[in-house]
């Protein structure tokens, strides 16, 4: 009991020490400067929670992230299955996909803003573009990874193409798709914030930009704290969803709680 308690106490102490350091730095050596005190930030945070505009911005951020993520998942899995099922197509697209993959969506942000303007569609498209490529590529590898013996068995049992796809190929590609989705979910939130901050799309990113432009630093920090919590929940939720949805797969079954 005592042994389990100590890490928790030290953790809480670490958090408190960091907050105290922040408060002391802000009120002591950097008083009157651009660094707001921890107390001021949390007062603003409480103010935000009571503010309707904040909840609207939060809702917009969530809707854009999830809409972008969902559309990217649907398009990505379908395209991935198509590419992965036809060997020549896989070879033809390999170099193109490999070239595009390490290019983050922020690169095409100016073009997207030019076409769509600072709108919800702009943010959505950017999220879609950023998430769809990794999902396609993982789906292709997953489809390609299907056990040839199982495929042959299914074929000799007389299963049709669609049945093989639904019963063999897709289930065996699931862990790949799951991993892609777990990585894509937090990325969707990050891209939504980028689209708001740099492209003027609606949501929390725009709120941060406005707070910074107005020099309203306590509000700026409060928004960043909110985003930290939101980012953590996205990471946690996607990890949990992956484990819940894929618990039946061999690569997850062996994971026992330590």
Partner 1 sequence: MNRKLTNWALGVGTPFLLVAAWWMFSENSTNTFFPPLGMILERFQALWLFEHFESDVMLSLRNLVVGYALATVIGVGLGFVTALMPVARWALDPLIHFLRGIPPVALVPIFISLIGFGIEMRLVSITLAAMFPTLIATVDGIRSVDSTLKDVSSVYRLTRAEKLAQVYLPAAGPQIASGMQVSLQVAFVVMIASEMLGSSQGIGAMTLLAQQSFMTSDMWAGILLLGVIGFGANLVFEVIKNKVLAWYVGSKRLARS
Enumerate binding residues for partner 1 (CB under 8 A).
6-8, 10-11, 13-15, 17-18, 34-35, 87-88, 91-96, 99, 102-104, 106-111, 113-115, 189-190, 193-194, 197-198, 205, 208-209, 211-212, 215, 217, 220-221, 223-224, 227-232, 235
Q: How far is the CB of 16 from partner 1 (least distance, A)?
A: 10
Choose between 128 and 209: whose C-beta lies nearer to partner 1.
Answer: 209
Q: How far is the CB of 159 from partner 1 (least distance, A)?
A: 25
Q: State the Cα torsion 177-183-186-190 to the nearest 10°.
A: -110
Largest CA distance in the chain: 78
Contacts of 197 (CB under 8 A, 6+ apart): 205, 206, 208, 209
Choose between 95 and 255: whose C-beta lies nearer to partner 1.
Answer: 95
Q: How far is the CB of 144 from partner 1 (least distance, A)?
A: 13
Residue with tokens 């969803």: 241
Q: How far is the CB of 38 from partner 1 (least distance, A)?
A: 13
CA–CA distance, 223 with 208 (Å, rounded to integer)? 6
Choose between 154 and 191: whose C-beta lies nearer to partner 1.
Answer: 191
Q: How far is the CB of 256 from partner 1 (least distance, A)?
A: 15
CA–CA distance, 238 with 50 (Å, rounded to integer)? 28
CA–CA distance, 2 with 70 (Å, rounded to integer)? 46
Query: DSSP labels for 59-121?
Result: HHHHHHHHHHHHHHHHHHHHHHHHHHH-HHHHHHHHHHHHHHTTS-GGGGHHHHHHHH-SSHH
Q: How far is the CB of 197 from partner 1 (least distance, A)?
A: 6
CA–CA distance, 76 with 185 (Å, rounded to integer)? 14
Phi-psi region for residue 11, left (φ > 0), alpha (ψ -120 to 50) or beta? alpha
Helix (H, G, I), strand (E, B) or coil at 248: coil
Q: How many helices (H) and strands (E) does the chain have?
A: 12, 0
Q: How far is the CB of 14 from partner 1 (least distance, A)?
A: 3
């Amino acid at each position: 009991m005592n042994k389990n308690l100590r890490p928790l106490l030290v953790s809480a102490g670490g958090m408190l020490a960091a907050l105290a350091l922040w408060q002391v730095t802000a009120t002591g050596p950097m008083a009157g400067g651009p660094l707001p005190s921890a107390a001021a930030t949390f007062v603003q945070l409480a103010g935000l929670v009571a503010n309707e505009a904040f909840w609207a911005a939060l809702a917009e951020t969530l809707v854009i992230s999830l809409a972008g993520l969902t559309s990217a998942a649907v398009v990505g899995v379908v395209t991935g299955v198509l590419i992965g099922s036809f060997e020549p197509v896989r070879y033809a697209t390999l170099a193109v996909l490999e070239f595009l993959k390490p290019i983050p969506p922020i690169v095409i942000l100016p073009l997207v803003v030019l076409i769509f303007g600072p709108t919800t569609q702009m943010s959505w498209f950017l999220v879609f573009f950023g998430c769809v490529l990794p999902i396609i590529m993982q789906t292709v590898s997953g489809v390609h990874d299907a056990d040839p013996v199982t495929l042959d068995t299914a074929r000799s049992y007389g299963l049709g193409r669609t049945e093989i796809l639904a019963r063999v190929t897709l289930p065996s590609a699931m862990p790949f798709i799951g991993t892609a989705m777990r990585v894509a979910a937090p990325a969707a939130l990050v891209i939504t914030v980028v689209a708001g901050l740099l492209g003027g799309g609606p949501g929390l990113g725009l709120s941060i930009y406005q707070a910074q432009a107005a020099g309203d630093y306590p509000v700026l920090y409060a928004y960043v704290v909110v985003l930290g919590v939101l980012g953590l929940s996205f990471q946690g939720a996607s990890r949990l969803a992956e484990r819940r949805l894929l618990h039946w797969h061999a690569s997850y079954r062996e994971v026992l709680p330590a």
